[in-house]
Chains A and B, each alone.
Chain A
Amino acid sequence: MQPYAQTNLQLFNQLRRDGYSNTDLSFVRDAYELTMVLYSGRFLPSGRPFIAHVVRTASILASLHLSAQVVAAGLLHNVYGTGDFGDGRNGISTAKRALISRVLSPEVEEYVARFPTLYWGSPTIQLARDDPDRLSPLDRAVLLILLADHLEHLLDLDVLYYVAAECRYYLNNSHTGAELAARLGASQLATQLNETLRETEFAELPVEIPAAKLRDRSFVLAPRSCRKRFSVALRHLLVHAVPSSRMQIQKLRLLPAELAKAAKRVSRPKTG
């Protein structure tokens, strides 16, 4: 079993052991409290609590002796994509940014806001591969968060519980991740990425999950005594209803042209 933390208690103990100050610990605890609220009830496709994922991402970052701000950002790294802010919307917004800045700090918020802009083909990644010295400290930190997140998904064979395409995505990008980690000077991370990739590629799942039950993304399991807020439910309904009604309208618009075409085909005299 890897020595990374899976719970907040293990993370706090690790930070204390690694020499983080009490102020740092309190800061990370505040980030964890926010995580509890924003990720409550969310699970990864493997059924692992999402909070366990972000805690271990933070733990990997702490093992690289990065600042408490980066560790806290690790706890909230994909909050704009999957965090539940109670407004029923995904993605970044001014209100969400203000909340993170207020509760933690503008620096952490900047890391968290930058995270979704990074993808494996992004210019920042290209720059990191070509000339890592030209990276800004912000980009460097966010890249390390991305690599920690990637390693975290690979540990304990977690990606094998995802749908095949998603699993392949993680496995295919691991070599690039390891190369990037090495270029950023995080050789421990690079080694672990390579080792974990080797283990995962040839491993079999310890339990059998029917292909139909495999998921490609995280999901929320609400407590049975709770129900969705009316405003959120209405919003979701509209969001799903509008595209389908748009398609219907589009079809109706095209209908006269289609009819005319069909009429032409029928009225065209047969040749030969």
Chain B
Amino acid sequence: MHSYAQTNVQLFNQLRSEGYSKQDRERVREAYVFAMHLFTGLFLPSGKMFIDHLVGTASILASLHVPVELVAAGLIHAAYLHGNFGGLRKGISETTRNQVKLAVGEEVEKYVVRYELLPWEPETLPVLRETIDKLSPVDRNVLLMRLANDYEHNLDCGSLYRDNWREYIQRAGPAMVSIAEKLGFPSLSAEMASMFGDIVLMEVPLEARIRTSEPAAYLVVPKSYHQRFWVVYLPKAHRLCPEILNRLRRLRWKGSKLIRGLLRSVSEMARVHGQR
């Protein structure tokens, strides 16, 4: 079993043994409390709790002795992608950014928002690798956070439960390994290389996709609760709107065609009548 933390108490113990100060640990605790609110009830396709993944990512970053802001950012790195702010829309907005800033501070939020905006596809990785030297320190840290995220998904064979992950690792793995090396983390690079090599040969030990068709992360609502009415129905209405508009447009077009035809025939009849 790997030595990375999977729970908050393990992470706090790790931070102490890695030499992070009391203030640093307090900062991470605050970020964890915020993460609890944003990611409660959220699971990965493997059935693993999303919050465990976040803690694992932060733990990988802490093991690399990065600044505490980055560790805290690791704890909420997916805030704009999967975080439950209670609103309708996910993603970056003024309101959600303000909430994050208020909870963890501007410095941490800066990492989280850049993480969300970073173009991270197998096709873009070679470009990122070639331009590492030109990146700002913040962007280099965001890149490291991205690597920690992907590495964490692979711990305990977790990635095998995700669709197309094997192909993703085959395509993106070598570039990720060399990015870690170029960022100055040879131990992480070696660990990733070894893990990616193993994982492409492995089989899923147990089908653990749990009654969901969601590809990335999904919410299991506690049984005494239910999703708010507008959270469930407004997106549906939003999806239905274009369809209804299209139908209305088609109806109007048909109607105007019919009226034009009628007018034409009336004028024709009037003309014939006039000639008589």
Contact = CB atoms under 8 A, between A and B. Distances in A.
Interface of A: 1, 3, 5-10, 12-14, 16, 22, 25-26, 29, 32-33, 36-38, 40-43, 46-49, 51-52, 84-88, 156-158, 161, 205-209, 220-229, 232
Contact of A229 (B10, B156, B157, B225): B225
Interface of B: 1, 3, 5-10, 12-16, 22, 25-26, 28-29, 32-33, 36-38, 40-43, 46-49, 51-52, 84-87, 155-158, 205-206, 208, 210-211, 219-228, 231
Given A29-B208, A40-B41, A223-B219, A8 B6 contact: no
3 pairs of A and B residues whose beta carbons are closest in the complex? A86-B223, A224-B86, A9-B156
Contacts of B46: 8-9
B6 A52 contact: yes
19 contacts: A8-B48, A29-B47, A29-B206, A29-B208, A36-B210, A36-B220, A42-B222, A47-B36, A52-B6, A86-B223, A156-B9, A221-B36, A222-B225, A226-B222, A226-B227, A227-B225, A228-B224, A228-B225, A229-B226
Contact of A7 (B6, B28, B32, B228): B6
Nearest to A42: B222
A157 B13 contact: yes
B75 to A, nearest CB: 12
A210 to B, nearest CB: 11
Contacts, number: 166
A12 B43 contact: no
A41 B6 contact: no
B211 A33 contact: yes
B268 to A, nearest CB: 61
Nearest to B83: A224
B16 A206 contact: yes
A123 B216 CA distance: 49
A12 B225 contact: no
A26 B208 CA distance: 9
Contact of A226 (B16, B208, B221): B221
A133 to B, nearest CB: 35
Which of B26, B85, B156, B231 counts the most A-chain CB atoms under 10 A from its CB?
A: B156
B1 A38 contact: no
A221 B208 contact: no
A155 to B, nearest CB: 9
B10 A8 contact: no
Given A33-B211, A223-B40, A226-B227, A49 B206 contact: no
Contacts of A208: 22, 26
Nearest to B28: A207
Contacts of A36: 43, 47, 210, 220
B211 A225 contact: no
B231 A52 contact: no
Contacts of B10: 1, 6, 156
A10 B52 CA distance: 12
A111 to B, nearest CB: 22
Contact of B228 (A38, A84, A205, A227): A227
Nearest to A8: B47
Given A7-B49, A51-B49, 9 more contacts: A8-B46, A9-B157, A156-B9, A207-B28, A208-B26, A224-B86, A225-B84, A227-B228, A229-B226
